[in-house]
Structure 1
Amino acid sequence: MTKPKPGLIALITGAFLLIATPALAAEAESTINDLDTVWILLAAYLVFFMQPGFALLETGLTRAKNTINIIAKNFMDMSVAVILFFFFGYGLMYGSGNSFIGLNGFALSGLGDSNVPIWASFIFQAVFCATAATIVSGAVAERIKFISYLIATGVLTALIYPIIGHWTWGGGWLAGLNFFDFAGSTIVHSTGGWAALIGAWMLGPREGKYDAEGKAQAICGHNLPLAALGVFILWFGWFGFNPGSQLAASGIENAKAISLISVNTILAPAAGALTAMLAVWIGYGKPDLTFCMNGALAGLVAITAPCAVVSPVASILIGAIGGVLVVLSARFFDLLHIDDPVGAVSVHGVNGVWGTLAVGLWGQKALGLASDGLFMGGGLGQLGVQALGVVSVAAFTLVTMGVVFFIVDHTIGLRVTRTEELRGLDIDEHGMEGYSDFQIFTTR
């Protein structure tokens, strides 16, 4: 029997590999959709761009002597969040475990791909985590120690936010009850808002914020054009936040869903800005720009939960009510002497609650909700589940972050000294100024 020549064996083997290898590769990657992957990454980049939006908004609404401090907090909470979410948070949120917490997948180990690579899923979720963290920055501005803020951010992003996320997006106990929060009115915004509330309350108000009779005194931001630019950037980035949460772009149904979500994401903040302007104009005699801006943000936060399951008309109503709520809640927190320099609690906490409840009012089963909302003929069932989710997240965040702030306050301290606060945190906390060669001095 004649043995095959080595060259013939090589030719046959090469031909087999040429045919078989693409098939094997296709089988291994058959679940990954290239369009979905690009869509998720693009949305993640847009959400990342919201971070400078927050930085500009908060910087503009606070005083010049704290410019570096505000920017540093926004810069570093993103850095802290993505590192800790990589090593711990993503696994706690999406790993398998129980209905309360994930117990594997740390540093993404052992987690597989779905319709997009795990890397794409991670970066999208990581920037959401950073958004929840940076909400706190504005409410505690101008008086918290930088190191204390970083510690609180670390706990929030490594542990508290991921656990709440596991209850819902990770398939936990709230998901089992059909709680619906499409892009995070509660999971992201209320979590950040409640953390901001407990932090602002425990810190106490800034020097000079309330007079001897307890009346609130205006402490004006130093650069409203900068703040306005920040709001426009946030509004733009929200088109990654909400439509991106569809998590897919391929196919007609996804295209329709993304289009509806985008329409709702532009209508609700527009309505919020209009009603906030009218409310403050009627109530205080002038169309205050800061409330117009926060009204738009209130509409964005409010529509984040229901954006995929409500009609455009409903989104206008949701945003319009959110704009009024942001004005009323700011006044309410002033009466409680809770000093929130940028209105973060009113925008994110209060309107995160409102948007989540709105799912149970105008949500539609035909658009993917488990049952119709109250105003759509579905009764109180979905509204009750939404309310349970709101209360559960609020209680968990307030208690856990309260413990964190308490421990920090009784160890290294939460608040800078009165002298440091009056001089400005830029000099004492960072050893530099935001505006060199300008003499910046205030008595409060």
Structure 2
Amino acid sequence: MKRKIVVTTLLLGWATVSVAADTPDPTFSFPINIDHVWVLLSAALVFFMQAGFKAFEVGMVRHEHGNAVAIKNIIDWIIGSLIFLFLGFGVMFGKSSYGIIGTDLFFGMGIQDNPDGSPLGSIFFLFQIAFATTALTIVSGAMSERTGFIPYMTASALVALLIYPVFGHWAWGNLFYADNPAWLADLGFIDFAGSTVVHSIGAWVALVGIWKIGPRLGRFDENGNPVAFKASSYAYSVMGLLILWLGWWGFNGGSQLALDGAVGEIILNTNIAGAAAGLVAFFHCYWFQKREDLYPKFLGGIIGGLVAITACCSMVSHLGALAVGLTAGLIHNYAYDLILYKCKLDDPVGAIPVHGFCGVWGTLCVALFGQLSPETSRLTQFGIQLLGCGVAFGFTTIVSYVMFSVLEKTVGLRVSPEEEKTGIIIGGEVAAEEEEEIGMSEAELLELMK
């Protein structure tokens, strides 16, 4: 009995001490910076967009190519993370040499607790890694079903090392060091969250890539008319689109780099533009384009609206966001037909109309619908925005042409006809059962797919 009383007394005493210890001290404040938390959460949302791109692209391509597309998506994140850490981040955000290129912050040194740099430190770096890999993923979808694994990995590394960060320095080089020269930004070029810096850059690399590698076997008939290829699952693509749409809240909202009153308006404008673009893309195709390619135009139109608003989401009213989205839906549909039916370029996921054309349109919408400073005329701002878009296109296509030409002459760009038919196998070999299923020579396969 005495033992029970002693044990009970000890337990009650321990409980009392524990409760007292857990009682919050009103004089104590936990050092949480809400801006850091928001940007870190936004970085996670943008990273999650990789899953959205994977699902969207796998659903758009033929079933047998789904595994290869998925693997290339994760390779983009791996390569982008490492290359951007070692060199790309420094090239883009380091202390500038004449506003052209960054010269420090390599290998992650000087990012955290830099008295002259962004107070976000490594969180800013994580956010920017997610942006860089988004540009790489755009190339993956456009060149899918016929691009070799090694040349694609090499191209991704060069984009993360040179193309994306160099142009990024010209437009965003003053985001880490506030007083850093960045020649396009210094002229007044505005691209809030990357309609051009991220999306158009990725699209123009992809444009050169699909032009150099050519269409998938059998994609056009002898008269140059497109032959329909069955997508593996539009339902899967819709799931990817919804993930992307959610991720865009972090993509655009996080670009404020602080959790303030503007964030809600930015996210709301993003949602308005995506919804408006999807509505217009659907009914424009349904009523005026004979319902041709209705599903890819509908889904692509939504993403095109999200891409377009990315440059100006912090500068437009809700009516302005509506105007950006409505026009982006039309631009997407016309650009889709231009690329496929006029230019005869094979873009399995519609990346060029979405990220290229809608990216340019959104960048120009800064001048058309944005709330500008009183001393800046819309015409002047439009000229600056047009210059930035032109520089992005010229720089990216020239460097990409050299890059893909060298890859074509060295390791090659295209996989074998067998792999195009049965699905790309990472490692370059067709499985034995797939060889038996083919049952024909390469020449016979080529003849069949003409």
Equivalent pairs: percent with the same residue? 40
The answer for the alignment partner of 2:226 in structure 1 is: 216
Q: Does 1:310 align with 2:316?
A: yes
Distance change in 2, residues 1:279/1:120 (3 Å): same
Q: Does 1:184 align with 2:194?
A: yes
Aligned ranges 1:59-70 → 2 under 5 Å: 59-70=58-69
Consecutive unaligned residues of structure 1, counting only runs of 5 or more, are 1-25, 27-31, 373-377
Consecutive unaligned residues of structure 2, counting only runs of 5 or more, are 1-28, 175-181, 440-444
- Residue number among 253, 272, 275 corresponding to 1:270 in the alignment: 275
The answer for the alignment partner of 1:18 in structure 2 is: none
Residues in 1 aligned to 2:426 and 2:235: alpha-carbon distance in whole angstroms = 24
SS of corresponding position for 2:57: helix
Distance change in 2, residues 1:432/1:56 (3 Å): farther
Q: Indicate if the aligned counterparts of 1:33 and 1:115 stay in contact, CA closer than 8 A.
A: no
SS of corresponding position for 1:426: coil
Q: How many positions carry a matched residue from both structures?
A: 397
Residues in 2 aligned to 1:389 and 1:263: alpha-carbon distance in whole angstroms = 26
Match of 1:45, as an amino acid? A
Shift of the alpha carbon at 1:217? 1.4
Match of 1:281, as an amino acid? Y
Distance change in 2, residues 1:248/1:418 (3 Å): same
Q: Indicate if the aligned counterparts of 1:67 and 1:426 stay in contact, CA closer than 8 A.
A: no
- Residue number among 359, 367, 375 corresponding to 2:366 in the alignment: 359
Q: Does 1:130 align with 2:133?
A: yes
- Residue number among 351, 361, 366 corresponding to 1:344 in the alignment: 351
Residue-by-residue CA offset, 1:384-443 (whole Å, 9 max, x unaligned): 10000000011111011111111000001001122221222137647679xx9xx89996
Residues in 2 aligned to 1:130 and 1:44: alpha-carbon distance in whole angstroms = 12
Q: Indicate if the aligned counterparts of 2:118 and 2:124 stay in contact, CA closer than 8 A.
A: no
The answer for the alignment partner of 2:236 in structure 1 is: 226
Residue-by-residue CA offset, 1:287-340 (whole Å, 9 max, x unaligned): 822211111000000000000001111111111111111111111112111110
Residues in 2 aligned to 1:415 and 1:371: alpha-carbon distance in whole angstroms = 52
Q: Does 1:326 align with 2:332?
A: yes
Residues in 2 aligned to 1:33 and 1:398: alpha-carbon distance in whole angstroms = 44
The answer for the alignment partner of 2:247 in structure 1 is: 237
Distance change in 2, residues 1:432/1:234 (3 Å): farther
- Residue number among 164, 183, 188 corresponding to 1:173 in the alignment: 183
The answer for the alignment partner of 2:7 in structure 1 is: none
Name segments (4+ residues, structure 1) moved above 3 Å.
113-117, 284-287, 369-372, 426-433, 439-444
Q: Indicate if the aligned counterparts of 1:364 and 1:371 stay in contact, CA closer than 8 A.
A: no
- Residue number among 114, 121, 145 corresponding to 2:124 in the alignment: 121
- Residue number among 289, 301, 306 corresponding to 1:300 in the alignment: 306
SS of corresponding position for 1:110: coil
Q: Indicate if the aligned counterparts of 2:89 and 2:165 stay in contact, CA closer than 8 A.
A: yes
Distance change in 2, residues 1:220/1:440 (3 Å): farther
Q: Indicate if the aligned counterparts of 2:138 and 2:206 stay in contact, CA closer than 8 A.
A: yes
- TM-score calculated relative to the size of structure 2: 0.84
Match of 2:105, as an amino acid? G
Residues in 2 aligned to 1:86 and 1:370: alpha-carbon distance in whole angstroms = 40
Match of 1:313, as an amino acid? L
The answer for the alignment partner of 2:425 in structure 1 is: 426
Match of 1:338, as an amino acid? L
Match of 1:364, as an amino acid? Q
The answer for the alignment partner of 1:383 in structure 2 is: 382
- TM-score calculated relative to the size of structure 1: 0.85
The answer for the alignment partner of 2:13 in structure 1 is: none
